[in-house]
Structure 1
Amino acid sequence: MKTTVYIATSVDGFIARNNGGIDWLPSGGDTDGGEDYGYQEFIDSVDALVMGRNTYELALSFDSWPYGEKPVFVLSSRKIDIPDEIAKTVEYMCAPPSEVVYRLSERGFQHLYIDGGKTIQGFLSEGLIQQLIITKVPILIGSGIPLFGSLPHDVRLHHLETRQFENGLVQSQYNVIEDAA
């Protein structure tokens, strides 16, 4: 099973403000020439998304559901509300990352998009991330929700490529080196 993180951070390493706000992210569309930073190609390569409850609730607040018909698995220790219009593609799970990977692998999924701070941190801690695609937005927000937290061991990365965009965003792609533990 391949698991990949695709996420944006501020230069100081935050994925959201303390209140979960992402107003500092580029809005897309006309302000950046319609650039999608490789997102469509990436999302087309994954079978399903695994995200935490906070990321799910943020996605619900968007004008439209951003994941279309792609299966989404929401990790939470408590039940979540799933609106009828996305009930066919969204499922709640309460399990540790290793069990999530096992269950989804058994169901035939081969490439998971892992999203959300605590979810990413949990998968990294268990050695279950193979690839990181991190886009740095040229802004310092000073405090917020960090992408990375403490880890039980070093996680060594192999740099694959870095791309710079006209609006100053810098995207780096890494493979996680298997024997990092």
Structure 2
Amino acid sequence: MRKIILDLAVSLDGFIEGPNKEIDWCIMDDDMNFEGFLSSIDTIFYGRVSYDAWGNYQPEEGAGSSEIRFWNSIHSRKKYVFSSQERKDDRATFINTDMAEKVLEIKRAPGKDIWLYGGAGLIKRFIQASLIDVYRISFHPVVLGSGKPLFEDLQNRISLRLIGTNVFRSGVVQLVYEPDNTSGNKL
């Protein structure tokens, strides 16, 4: 079965965006091999707000060829948007009912792994429904002091098992975890 991978940048103090929704602190180094991650997925899950902001983002005029290739690669994936709004969109499938059931259908379908892009509300719902198979959290060397936290209002403790660590030139440290189902999680 395909895996749902939460791949996310986080400040050292646990925020996924600053107090004004800024993400200018996120670092993308070539040694992070994000293209390798993209080649391992063929589907992206978005919340509506994240999709509206990034789901069809186009680089500014004059952007470099690597940035254009990066966004073209992202946009070539199948996109699902979880939203309470019903909406028609030629570039994405909107899901507004039976989230867990639909996610399991998608996971059972043939294909590569699935990137849980976010936002925070969708991530929280996936955590509460125990739908995340891999947590790839990249801690960036910046302390924001405030903003939108990654883990907020969780109902239960989540036990994770470390399966990988990557350290990059920029000082970003990526920790890769799987849920530890042997520790009595109550999810």
Structure 2 matches for 1:65-80, cutoff 5 A?
Answer: 65=71, 67-80=74-87
Q: Residue 169 of structure 1: CA displacement? A: 0.6
Tell me whether 1:5 sits opposite 2:6 in the alignment: yes
Q: Give the conservation status (yes or no) of the 8 Å contact 1:6–1:114.
A: yes
Equivalent residue for 2:116? 114
Q: After TM superposition, where is structure 1 displaced by more than 3 Å over at least 4 residues in a row?
A: 79-82, 105-110
How high is the TM-score relative to the length of structure 1? 0.82
Q: Residue 58 of structure 1: CA displacement? A: 2.1
Equivalent residue for 1:20? 21
CA distance in 1, matches of 2:173, 2:156: 27
Equivalent residue for 1:38? 33
CA distance in 2, matches of 1:80, 1:172: 36
CA distance in 1, matches of 2:15, 2:94: 26
Measured on the aligned residues, the alpha-carbon RMSD in Å equals 2.1
How high is the TM-score relative to the length of structure 2? 0.80
CA distance in 2, matches of 1:3, 1:50: 9
Structure 2 gap ranges (5+): 60-67
Structure 2 matches for 1:1-181, cutoff 5 A?
Answer: 1=1, 2-26=3-27, 28=28, 32=29, 34-35=30-31, 37-59=32-54, 60-63=56-59, 65=71, 67-80=74-87, 82=89, 87=90, 89-105=91-107, 107-109=109-111, 111-116=113-118, 117-179=120-182, 180-181=185-186
CA distance in 2, matches of 1:96, 1:7: 25
Q: Residue 129 of structure 1: CA displacement? A: 0.8
SS at match of 2:138: strand
Q: Residue 106 of structure 1: CA displacement? A: 5.5
CA distance in 2, matches of 1:93, 1:109: 19
Q: How many residues align?
A: 170
Identity %: 27
Q: Residue 96 of structure 1: CA displacement? A: 4.7
CA shift digits 1:69-94 (9 cap, x unpaired): 21010111114574xxxx2x422111
Q: Give the conservation status (yes or no) of the 8 Å contact 1:161–1:173.
A: yes
Q: Give the conservation status (yes or no) of the 8 Å contact 1:136–1:171.
A: yes
SS at match of 1:103: helix
SS at match of 1:150: coil
Q: Give the conservation status (yes or no) of the 8 Å contact 1:9–1:135.
A: yes
